[in-house]
Structure 1
Amino acid sequence: MIDKLEMFIALAQARHFGRAAEAVGVAQPTLSAAIRQLEEQLGAVLVLRGSRFAGLTPEGERVLGWARRIVSDARAMREEVRVGRAGLSGTMRLGVIPTALAAASRLTAAFAATHPEVQITILSATSIAILEDLDSLRVDAGISYLDNEPLGTKATLPLYEERYALVMREDHVLAGRGSVGWGELGEVALCLLTPDMQNRRIVSGLLAEAGVSVAPRIETNSTIVLIGHVLTGGWATILPLGAAEIFLEHGPLRAAPLTDPDAHHRVGLIAPAREPQMPLVAALLAEAKRTS
């Protein structure tokens, strides 16, 4: 049953029989047969089928929630037994919003030093994608905003508060300022994160509140690309101070805090709300409490 539920979760995630089969490492006929067997066992049609996958039935949507809980519990049980026998090891998969990657690195470096047998995979993703990946069991934990979008039923641990700054070259006309008001950015050539990023939605909201309409010519989902454009001269970007610090240590960049308002948002660890937690997630939460 567990194997069939895992295949069902993979199909709901991939929305394609071939890709789902590839994801779980079986042939497509094997996956299709497993889904039909699951339907027979439950006495309900779970998948809408035409010439290809066409979605889940209402019963399928309900079963998907149960499948995720059951598979998560089964994985936790196996992990608990394995850790009790061999100690903390395995792979920790962590989804992180781009503006929190520097903070994530500090946390995972401390975690890796404490738990040398654990491999860590850090994936940059939007806040919405992180929640979806947690629900779909693609990541074990995430680092994202805690107070700007609904998180659903999640365990959370605040890490820091994000505040914003205008990042520019030292020869920029605003580089000598101790601070810059949001309302002064109307004439500044800005490159910003893409609108699917929660940071961009926060920034756009603050600009709109200040009466500033901005249509940036450069948009990207990478802070590295933003800084690359700022370094060419003429451009400026808006980043959290924590995310900007790593770029300010060397090179010709300056950051001026943005004020009026002095906005801030909480960023922290997000994990499935379950008890007991997966051993790796429990260890990460403990490390975050110790280091934050």
Structure 2
Amino acid sequence: MLLRQLEYLVALARARHFAKAARACYVSQPTLSEGIRKLEDELGIPLVQRGRRFDGLTPEGERVVLWAQRILADRDAMQSEIQALRAGLTGRLRIGTVPTASTAVALLTQPFCAANPLTTVQVFADLQAVDIVNRLRTYELDAAVTYHSSVAADDFTFLPLYQERYVLLTRRPAPGSGPAEISWEEAAQYPLCLLHPMMQGRQVLDAVFETAGVTVTPRVETDSIASLFAQVRAGHWASVVPHAWLHVFGVPPGMRAVPLVRPVRTERIGLVLPAREPRSMLAQALIDVADRAGISATLERLPD
């Protein structure tokens, strides 16, 4: 009964609405409300600020939700491990990624599914770094692929996968007329299409341009790496893209990927998991795959 009451509270914290939380738990609204009231009675503290509608959680309720999320995640992990001991690893692996690193996730999912044929994978491919941190903390994600800098100050396990480096993607010039490499200062003079400034991938680029002593004002901004390639394909724009994305698109016909230098900038990209013991079997299986995948070597072999 206690676990069910904790499920009601977590659902309410996510939905911020009694009726929506009840639907998520497949119960009636009175059943959900009564379950949360019983939990309040058992703990001896108010958890929900009640008015004519949901007005939020009390400070005590916010703390209890954190414990509830962990307790429910540990229950799910225990059930998965027992099932794995009986019949092999099952369940759904939920993995998030910032857009710039989604190519690395694609290099993990295939070997993971091959090694664990009874599992499924759900990929959230367009998350901002702050969303990844929040979802890992609330156990809405089992793992993520993101920048080391976004989780360095938090209590997570970080397993390096590769070093992200950058190229200037442009339309191909006449044969023999294009530079073999280009500085960030020179790249700033191109008509640029870049990621949206709220995205960490863009913030990394802005910091490098600032280091080079220039400020960029792109004419077009987007939240999609694929859109950057499409914009360059249209003929007028250039863009700065992660070298790893050449694994997905190659260098499309009519385009050229020129290494960016002065400075040469790289960012550590890795697999991030909540630092908890015992680790869930799904998470451990993903770590085992990442150790064998050789992502860094695969991406380093890509031509510019």
Cα separation, 2, equivalents of 1:233 and 1:254:
12
Determine which of 166, 191, 206 is the counterpart of 1:189. Answer: 191
The 3 A distance-change label for structure 1 pair 212 and 49 is: farther
Q: Matched residues in 2 for 1:175 and 1:41: separation?
A: 76
Alpha-carbon distance in 2 for matches of 1:86, 1:25: 28
- Deviating more after overlay: 207-216 vs 279-288: 207-216
TM-score w.r.t. the length of structure 2 is: 0.89
Runs of 4+ in 1 over 3 A off after TM superposition: 148-151, 171-175
Whole-Å Cα distance in 2 between the matches of residues 92 and 174 of structure 1? 48
Q: CA deviation at 1:241?
A: 0.5
Q: Does 1:220 align with 2:219?
A: no
- TM (norm. structure 1) is 0.93
Q: Indicate conservation of the 8 Å contact 1:175/1:256, yes or no.
A: no
Change (3 A) 1:263 1:43: same
Is residue 201 from structure 1 mapped to residue 200 from structure 2 by the alignment? no
Identify the match of residue 261 of structure 1 among 260, 263, 266. 263
In structure 2, the gaps of 5 or more residues are 295-304
Q: What secondary structure sits across from 2:272 in the alignment?
A: strand
Unpaired segments ≥5 residues, structure 1: none
Aligned position for 1:211: 213
SS of equivalent to 1:187? coil
Per the alignment, do residues 171 and 35 of structure 1 end up closer, same or farther by CA in structure 2, a change over 3 Å counting?
Answer: farther
The alpha carbon displacement at 1:267 in A equals: 0.7
Partner residue in 2 for 1:19: 20
Structure 1 residue 94: deviation in Å? 0.8
Q: CA deviation at 1:13?
A: 2.2
Structure 1 match to 2:65: 64
SS at match of 1:147: helix
Asked if the contact 2:92–2:121 (Cα under 8 Å) also holds between the matched residues in 1, the reply is yes
1:164/1:264 contact within 8 Å kept:
yes
Q: Which moved more, 1:268-277 or 1:181-190?
A: 181-190
Task: Report 1:1-292 matches (<5 A).
Answer: 1-124=2-125, 125-150=127-152, 152-171=154-173, 176-292=178-294
Contact kept in structure 2, 1:175 and 1:255, CA below 8 Å = no
CA, structure 1 residues 174+264, in 2 after alignment: closer, same or farther (shift >3 Å)? farther
What amino acid sits opposite 2:260 in the alignment? Answer: L
What do the CA deviations read for 1:177-231 (whole angstroms, capped 9, x no partner)? 2221111233211111112211111111111222222222322211111111111
Whether the aligned pair in 1 keeps the contact of 2:11 and 2:24 (CA below 8 Å) is yes
Deviation at 1:16, TM superposition (A): 2.4
Query: For the Cα contact (< 8 Å) 1:131–1:151, is it kept in 2?
Result: no
Could you tell me whether the CA contact under 8 Å between 2:133 and 2:151 is conserved in 1? no
Closer, same or farther: CA 199–51 of 1 in aligned 2, 3 Å = same
1:155 Cα deviation from its structure 2 partner: 1.6
CA distance in structure 1 between the partners assigned to 2:269 and 2:243 by the alignment: 13
Alpha-carbon contact 2:103-2:244 (below 8 Å) kept: yes
Tell me whether 29-38 or 81-90 shows the greater mean CA deviation: 29-38
* CA-CA distance at 1:172 after TM superposition: 8.8
Paired with 1:41 and 1:160, the residues of 2 have a C-alpha distance of: 49
- Root mean square deviation of aligned Cα: 2.1
SS of structure 2 residue aligned to 1:48: strand
**Displacement after TM superposition at 1:42 (Å):** 0.9
Tell me how far apart the structure 2 counterparts of residues 93 and 174 of structure 1 sit (CA, whole Å): 47
SS in structure 1 of the partner of residue 165 of structure 2: strand
SS in 2 for 1:178: coil
Q: Deviations over 1:68-114 (max 9, x none)?
A: 22111111111111111121122111111111111111111111222
Q: State whether residues 175 and 254 of structure 1, in contact with CA within 8 Å, keep that contact through their aligned partners in structure 2.
A: no
